[in-house]
Structure 1
Amino acid sequence: MRLTLMLPLLLMLAGCSTAPGNDTAAAPAPAGDATAEAASCAASGGELKPLGRLQRVQCVVPYADAGKTCSAKSDCTGQCLANGDTEIAAGTKATGICQTDVSQNFGCRQRIDGGVAQGTICVD
């Protein structure tokens, strides 16, 4: 009886093996693909950078309107963000600056929309 109860547990653990060759998710991309991706990114004016908690490599291209004064997302290619390290009380009238690039989608940020500060959000 004891063996009957342990067999399913052993089978489940066998599926979690970390033996060499079993981890295809972490396999690096073939060198040719990475080189082509880097070249394509550079051609668009960007740079490959690891972003977020997973450190997934993405092409980071600066937005043309980065740093422009804004009062809503519609004023920017990316988001309209509060300027500076000081949080503005949500609901307060405010202006911001257009985000630099997609890398600012990670970490903590406060959006400005309709000329009003929104709550701060943190994304990893």
Structure 2
Amino acid sequence: MNQKGFTPVLVLLIIALINQNTQIQITPTPTPQRDQAEEECRARGGEWKQIGLDYKCEINHTDGGKTCSDNSECQGTCLAPEGVKPGEDIGAKGNCSSYSPVVGCFSSLNKGTVSLTICAD
């Protein structure tokens, strides 16, 4: 094959490789600690799954969405509404989280006062 015929073939090969829809599946390496954590999670009624960057135990809460003013009133976290400022006293205007752990950026309520926003992964 001469160089003129080789170049288009090479270009087509590169385009085909670029357009491949390749997914990389990352499987965590089993360890005794991870296996034990997964067993304990399932024993508590949780679901062992990837949350953020790692595998964690997700627990669903029966009081998710209930109005709250403090974490002590929830099975999970009393989440402040979006847009409120840390330190602001908003009373009982939060809602209990539907599951734990809560990931992403959020503020919780402590006796009706908005906590600092935290970002968890």
TM-score range, shorter chain: 0.5 to 0.7
Count of aligned positions: 90
Query: In structure 1, which of residues 79, 102, 107 is the aligned counterpart of residue 104 of structure 2?
Result: 107
Cα shift at 1:59: 2.3
Q: 1:78 aligned to 64, 76, 79, which one?
A: 76
1:65-93 deviation per Cα after TM superposition (whole angstroms, max 9, x unaligned): 1111100111112211113xx32012222
Question: Deviation of residue 44 (structure 1)?
Answer: 4.5
Q: TM-score of the superposition, structure 1-length normalised?
A: 0.57
Structure 1 equivalent of residue 47 of structure 2: 47
Q: Is the 8 A contact 2:89 2:114 kept in 1?
A: yes
- What SS does the corresponding residue of 2:84 show, helix, strand or coil? coil
The SS at the match of 2:30 is coil
Aligned to 2:83: 87
Shift of 1:51: 1.9
Q: Structure 1 stretches (4+) deviating beyond 4 angstroms?
A: 40-44
- The root-mean-square deviation of aligned C-alpha atoms, in Å, is 2.8
- Taking the aligned partners of 1:68 and 1:93, their CA distance within structure 2 comes to 19
Q: Name stretches of at least 5 consecutive residues in structure 2 with no aligned partner.
A: 1-26
Unaligned runs of 5+ in 1: 1-25
Label 1:27 to 1:69 Cα distance change in 2 as closer, same or farther (>3 A): closer
1:109 partner letter: F
Partner of 1:23: none
Contact 1:72 1:80 (8 Å CA) reproduced: yes
The alpha carbon displacement at 1:43 in A equals: 6.2
Match of 2:117 in 1: 120
SS state of the match for residue 85, structure 2?
Answer: coil
Q: Residue 55 of structure 2 aligns with which residue? A: 57
- Letter of the 1:81 partner, please give it: L
TM-score of the aligned structures, taking structure 2 as reference length: 0.59
Letter paired with 1:87: G
Q: Distance in 2 between matches of 1:69 and 1:78?
A: 13
- The separation in 2 between residues aligned to 1:75 and 1:50, in whole angstroms, is 27
